[in-house]
Structure 1
């Protein structure tokens, strides 16, 4: 893993709880779609975030959920707002896109787990892949689905990709599913045999998803999520 100095190009709120961060590395580095980096806050304080941009992008994009003042992620946002440069350690993670696989893909994101999926889908688009992919994005409400427009654009522009937005609290004119994310997947699939599954979100959601997916026959060798390295 390399330590790389980056210029902080932009810190912009998507909404009152999620920030978009754009970084320009002083030297280019190779990573695979779906990997993450760590913001170096101190010698022994390195905080991981999924890379939201695809490997071919000029800037490194992060999505940081930081709703609570002085919280672990908000401390990073405040640092990025005030410092012109920041050090990162990258790349890290083993839950990257398996581009050679032709198995159909299910992408699952809870909240800012979208950033992980964004890198993977944008890499699929950039490399001209057409493997059938269903992308589930679950949020509490529509306001929390901060990059809904780009996901719907992917859906409209790529026949192989289906975007399935899922919210628990939906307005009357909601164009998507109203349900718990995992309950929606259970409703849509009888079995998960034969799929590559990529998942990111809060650790408790990812852990619960693994239990649900086991009941549905998932081959865990084809279940990818870096959260699994941190949860039992």
Structure 2
């Protein structure tokens, strides 16, 4: 783990509730696809966010921060970033990293801004020309909250090994409605052969593990940083 100072290159909204943050580290950094950093608010207050960018180009670090007035924990970070030219971060954390040496098919599952974790994995796989069969399920409240849907649709249209399944809490014409966990369980009879990467709220990750157990998941191949904090 190292603490570094980063220049705040930009803070721009993806949509009403999600911000794209670009940081420029003042010294070289190393991390793995799927890891996270903490934004240092002070020595006793360090707030974790997935690194959304690939480690293949660590000259900039991208974060996707879901923040609204109601979510003061994240909005305080956005306000700090908007008010300053630089910020200290600590990195890198997490063991739910991309296992690219695996030849198992992949299932990537994101809830909301948990997609930032999946984005880092996908950007790395694409940059390295990986063609392993991959299914990407992304669950969001509504179409506006799926802030990079066009990007993922473009991936799916150009990568024959990738299947993208968007799932919405609210009714969206022509799209799956319900929870992303239910969608996965409906589409797969068994999950034992898959490497599964998952990110979202802790309760979502916990519910997914319980549901996936009923579908034969091999938990040695179920990767999510939330599980390091759960029994």
Structure 1 length normalisation: TM-score? 0.96
Aligned to 1:224: 223
How far apart are residue 68 of structure 1 and its match?
2.5
The alignment status of 1:101 with 2:102, answered yes or no, reads yes
**Rounded Cα–Cα distance in structure 1 between residues aligned with 2:136 and 2:60:** 24
**Rounded Cα–Cα distance in structure 2 between residues aligned with 1:230 and 1:12:** 31
Structural mapping, 1:54-65, within 5 Å: 54-57=54-57, 58-65=59-66
Distance 1:223 1:24, change over 3 A: same
How far apart are residue 55 of structure 1 and its match?
0.8
Q: Which runs of 4+ in 1 moved over 4 A?
A: none
Give CA-to-partner distance per residue, 1:29-56, whole Å, 9 cap, x none: 1111000000010011111100000112
Structure 2 length normalisation: TM-score? 0.97
Give CA-to-partner distance per residue, 1:109-150, whole Å, 9 cap, x none: 000000000000010001111111000000111111011111
**Rounded Cα–Cα distance in structure 2 between residues aligned with 1:10 and 1:94:** 28
Number of equivalent positions: 230
Aligned to 2:43: 43
How far apart are residue 178 of structure 1 and its match?
2.1
Ranges in structure 2 where 5+ consecutive residues have no aligned partner: none
Aligned to 1:184: 183
Structural mapping, 1:129-140, within 5 Å: 129-140=130-141
Q: Is the 8 A contact 1:142 1:170 kept in 2?
A: no
Distance 1:168 1:70, change over 3 A: closer
Aligned to 2:171: 170
**Rounded Cα–Cα distance in structure 2 between residues aligned with 1:215 and 1:120:** 26
Ranges in structure 1 where 5+ consecutive residues have no aligned partner: none
Q: What's the C-alpha RMSD, in Å, of the aligned pairs?
A: 1.1
**Rounded Cα–Cα distance in structure 2 between residues aligned with 1:67 and 1:107:** 26
**Rounded Cα–Cα distance in structure 1 between residues aligned with 2:128 and 2:45:** 35
